[in-house]
Amino acid sequence: MNAAISQEFAIYNEFDGNGSGIITLPNENEMVDFDEMDDEPENGSLTAATLVRTLPSDVTLIVQNSAYTLSVLESYRKILADELRVILQKEGHRSHNFRRYGEAVRNISSAIKLKTEFIRDLFRRLRDAEPENIAKASYATIVHYQRSLADYQRILAQRQQRIHQELRTLKEILGKINQTFLLLRERAKEISELLFSVSVEEITSYPPEELGEFRVILESSLDKEAHAPQEAQKIWRQALIKVLEGIGIQALSVKENRKYQQVLSDIETYLGHEKSAFVLEILQRFANISPREIARKYDATLIKHHLFLLSHFTLLLEGHDENLHIIEQYNETSKRISDALNLKLNPYKEQLGMKICDDLSGVYPDELAAYQTYERIREYHKILEASISATEEYDSDADVMTRRKTLVKVLEAEGIQILMWEDPEKHRKYQDVLAQIEQHLMPFKDEFLKERLERFNGLTAQSIAQKYRVSTVKHNVLLLARLSLLLNMQENTDLMFEYYTISKNIFEALNLKLEEGRILQDEVDAHRAASKNTLLESDLFRTLSTNAIERIIDRFELVTYPKNTVIIQKGQKGDSFYVIKKGSVRVGLPMKNGKEIQLAVLAHSDCFGEMSLLTGNPAAAAITSIEDVELMRLSEAYFNDILLEYPVLNRYFHRILSERLRSTSEKSGETEPDKGLAGKLSTISLEELIQTLYTANKTGALTIDNHGDKGKIFIKNGLVIHAMTKNLKGEQAFFRLMTWQDASFRFVPGDVDVERTVTMNVHGLLLEAMKRIDDMRQIKHL
């Protein structure tokens, strides 16, 4: 291939002036872009397969063949490239066809490159050659030159046509660009007019996308290449700074601090030498405006933005003598803006403080102490103190005085509650409360004393003792004594006389209250002693120590019932446990005919109500007072707490269940001593019966007859080991038997020899049974 090319290029030496024979290619920028050529071959039916079969396999032969012009070769390459893509998708790059077609494409590409280089060099050499020198070549060579250059001419003509087309398109685009600049200027003018009378805080409410569009348009109009008039640029720059402020405030509101700093830098860039005027405009905006007014006019983000703006740009102005007046104004204005921000970030101090004043208006300290918890009063205390501290400098004297008076009222209520406690450490805390009252009282101590004296004026010691609690009376004694040290009452003898008279009455009322308290305490002690004796005489609680009874006695509540009062009705869900302190009650089983079978009589220190609490079932019998009774009642929550604290009571309750079951069966006349225990499930539930047998560690067979439908439960050492009904056995049979409520039962003690089909323990078995019963009830209600 190299020899053939050298032979072809050697023709040029015949008319080369220096005969060097060196081939120099033209400038690479003048190369024809053959990738854009899409000429089709003369034979439109030519296929890629035909090309692969007919094309020479050697690049030299392709180059030497004058029929293969540049346009034809480029068309061939396009045909083969399209086919290669199809083969690659279908067969992959390892297929035989892909390799054959790829080799053909490479040969054509190499031939195009060599022909291009040859034609370019030929063009350069023939450009300055004379016809006489060209004629020295052979006729066939000259014909070859002609065809090659004609091919090159066609290529250049196509390229020139494309360039002319691109030039026309380019002119159209330039026209569009010029028109776009006009539209941008017009749009910038519209935006500037729109934003001229709009404040920065109003701009902040614009959608972020719209502000971003405004920014792009205004920045494009201010570009140096835009060549806009200076006056227009000044207006657009002012509008752009407003837009940038709006974007910055939006970024600050969502805590995009990095974006906000970038916005500040952009504002700095567009301000240029107008930074001092910009800072002065902001300072003038906040001149002669109090922090309170700033906080009411702007939201927290806007206040923070103005504070950051002033701080950023004032820092840039430091170091220049001509800006000293700006620095001085900044120091004063920034403090007021900072105070406004503090007010804004803590709105509860003002709003809640005034709300508490409104809520407590007309409420006396003793009333507040009686109806509010200590924690709520402490909350009032903290809020009012914060409200006074945060707003005292800016609020009117009347507002501050209102909050101080309400705070004194709250402190009094706090002190009254502290005096209710019997902890000496808390009483020392009361002295701290008195000191705080004294501190806040100073601005209106005379007014406070007169109001307090008027409240007790005309009241005797007895009426004061009847009207107020002991802690309230004690507080007023201590508070008035402290006030007497603050006031110079020697100058007002009438006030002094009134003070001593009322103080004497309040002090006497305190003595009466303390004496009343001692009497009441003696009654309480007597009641505790009687209740303690009642529990100690009870079979249940005598198992506990005296200290344990002392700890649980305050959980009982003393209740009384007159004669013939039904205390617990049959079928009622139990919610309390009772111990009889005085009198007696009857345990009865109501019958359908209106009569009642008396099952038991309970008297002093006996207890009842525990069955329903232990099992969760309704009461199986009615409890009625035989005479006037005093009962010690224990709520269900306290009852459960005591069982957890003292496990010995748990075991005792199960023994009571067993004994009461036997007693109930004997009273109902359904027991045959030789045949074990019998009864009805309407008297005692199956759950209670199983728990009783478990606690008593019994062994035997329990037969249940539900109107002819019978089942059995086999128990060994208190554990259920087997259960059976007509169609079921094991745990499923047990769960079925637990649903029978109006059935009779008989337990026959003795050894049992049956296969064990129940593996769950008694507690788990009963819990699962009750869960299934509850599920069935819910399904029935659907």
Check residue 722 and give its pLDDT.
Answer: 94
The backbone region for 700, taken as left when phi is positive above 0, alpha when psi lies in -120 to 50, beta otherwise, is left
Residue 420 neighbours by CB distance under 10 Å: 15
Task: Examine the domain organization and report whether 630 and 727 are in the same domain.
Answer: no
Give the range of the structural domain holding residue 759, as residue numbers without chain letter: 674-782
**Does residue 42 have a pLDDT over 50?**
no
**Does residue 116 have a pLDDT over 50?**
yes
Dig out the tokens for 338 from the structure.
Answer: 């900072």
Task: Examine the domain organization and report whether 341 and 351 are in the same domain.
Answer: no
Task: Examine the domain organization and report whether 591 and 698 are in the same domain.
Answer: no
Question: Is position 152 within any domain?
Answer: no
Band of pLDDT at residue 349, cut at 50, 70 and 90 = low
What whole-number distance in Å separates Cα of residue 202 and Cα of residue 71? Answer: 67
Q: What is the pLDDT of residues 664-715, one digit of tens each?
A: 545 444 444 344 677 777 667 788 788 778 777 788 999 999 888 899 999 9
Q: Which stretches does DSSP call E strand in 350-489?
A: none
Cite the DSSP H helix spans in 538-571: 546-552
Q: DSSP for 761-775?
A: -HHHHHHHHHHHHHH
Rounded to whole angstroms, the maximal C-alpha distance in the chain is 156
Q: What is the CATH number of the domain that holds 645?
A: 2.60.120.10
Check residue 721 and give its pLDDT.
Answer: 93
Band of pLDDT at residue 660, cut at 50, 70 and 90 = low
Question: Is position 164 within any domain?
Answer: no
**Does residue 411 have a pLDDT over 60?**
yes
Check residue 214 and give its pLDDT.
Answer: 86
Of the candidates 689, 711, 716, 688, the residue with the CA atom closest to the CA atom of residue 700: 716
Q: How are strands ordered across the β-sheet holding 566-568?
A: 566-568, 622-625, 585-590, 596-602
Residue 667's Cβ-side half-sphere holds a number of Cα atoms within 13 Å equal to 17
**Section 64-86 average pLDDT:** 85
**Does residue 521 have a pLDDT over 70?**
no
Q: Which of 391-395, 541-545, 717-721, 737-741 has the lowest mean pLDDT?
A: 391-395
Residue 589's Cβ-side half-sphere holds a number of Cα atoms within 13 Å equal to 14
Q: What is the pLDDT of residues 561-588, one digit of tens each?
A: 999 899 998 888 888 989 998 899 998 8
Dig out the tokens for 554 from the structure.
Answer: 């305050």
Q: Calculate the CA 65 to chain-centre distance.
A: 81
**Does residue 766 have a pLDDT over 90?**
no
Q: DSSP for 369-409?
A: HHHS-HHHHHHHHHHHHHHHHHHTTTS-HHHHHHHHHHHHH
Check residue 701 and give its pLDDT.
Answer: 92
The last residue of one of the domains, among 327, 345, 363, is 345
Check residue 661 and give its pLDDT.
Answer: 54
Question: Is position 550 within any domain?
Answer: yes
Task: Examine the domain organization and report whether 358 and 505 are in the same domain.
Answer: yes
Task: Examine the domain organization and report whether 255 and 282 are in the same domain.
Answer: yes
**Section 430-458 average pLDDT:** 81
What whole-number distance in Å separates Cα of residue 600 and Cα of residue 585? Answer: 9
Task: Examine the domain organization and report whether 452 and 488 are in the same domain.
Answer: yes
Question: Is position 532 within any domain?
Answer: no
Question: Is position 183 within any domain?
Answer: no
What percent of the chain shows pLDDT beyond 70?
A: 81
**32, 116 in Cβ contact below 8 A?**
yes
Average model confidence (pLDDT) for the chain?
78
The last residue of one of the domains, among 345, 375, 391, is 345
What percent of the chain shows pLDDT beyond 90?
A: 6
Task: Examine the domain organization and report whether 727 and 657 are in the same domain.
Answer: no
Cα-flanking dihedrals φ and ψ of residue 122, to 5°? -60, -40
Question: Is position 146 within any domain?
Answer: no
Band of pLDDT at residue 628, cut at 50, 70 and 90 = very high
Write down the pTM of the prediction.
Answer: 0.35
Band of pLDDT at residue 131, cut at 50, 70 and 90 = confident
Check residue 627 and give its pLDDT.
Answer: 92
> Sign (positive/negative) of CA torsion 569, 570, 572, 574?
positive
Task: Examine the domain organization and report whether 560 and 604 are in the same domain.
Answer: yes
Task: Examine the domain organization and report whether 585 and 551 are in the same domain.
Answer: yes
Task: Examine the domain organization and report whether 630 and 731 are in the same domain.
Answer: no
Band of pLDDT at residue 487, cut at 50, 70 and 90 = low
Task: Examine the domain organization and report whether 361 and 488 are in the same domain.
Answer: yes
**400, 392 in Cβ contact below 8 A?**
yes
**13, 21 in Cβ contact below 8 A?**
yes
Check residue 115 and give its pLDDT.
Answer: 85
Number of domains into which the chain is organized: 5
Q: Which of 186-195, 266-275, 304-313, 649-658 has the lowest mean pLDDT?
A: 649-658
Task: Examine the domain organization and report whether 220 and 313 are in the same domain.
Answer: yes
**Section 128-134 average pLDDT:** 84
Q: Which of 56-60, 312-316, 500-504, 648-652 has the lowest mean pLDDT?
A: 648-652
Check residue 20 and give its pLDDT.
Answer: 29
Place of tokens 């002392």: 550
Q: What is the pLDDT of residues 373-409, one digit of tens each?
A: 888 888 888 878 877 776 545 555 677 788 888 888 8
Q: What is the pLDDT of residues 191-233, one digit of tens each?
A: 888 888 888 888 888 888 888 888 888 888 777 555 667 788 8
